[in-house]
Amino acid sequence: MERVSFDMEFIFRASPTIIYKFLTDATCLIRWFCDEVDIEKGTFTYSWDGAEEIAKLVEHTENEYLKFEWEDRDPGEYLEIKLSKSPVTGETVMLLKDYCDDDEVEDQKELWTTQFAQLKRETGG
């Protein structure tokens, strides 16, 4: 199976500062992303129904940029999130880049769409 990258864009009414907090703060992450999370020295251990996934925060700029490398992914793969404020609408634009098997792109996009819909509800849109 070939691994491929895909990009997505999401729009939020909440500020980049709020979205960034919901991506990096344990209390906020459990409200929309996972059942539990332990964050220690840039390593995020997420839990869902007893299953764990570990991601290392390898680059970040507060309120603007996050780059994670998952422990169980191929070298060179990462999850990247860029946040910016639209000068026209004032909304927060989130650009996401992720990787998956080439036959799972639509499923992964659907998963992220569902997750970020929950994030929108938690942040007020």
What pTM does this model have? Answer: 0.93
58 sits in which H/E element:
strand 51-61
Please count the structural domains in the chain: 1
CATH number at residue 81: 3.30.530.20
CA 88 to chain centre: 24
**Looking at residues 64-77, what average pLDDT do you find?**
94
Average pLDDT, the chain: 96
Contact 83, 65 (CB under 8 A): yes
- Domain hosting 86: range is 3-123
**Looking at residues 28-45, what average pLDDT do you find?**
97
**Radius of gyration, alpha carbons of the chain:** 14
Half-sphere exposure of 2 (CA within 13 A, CB side): 4
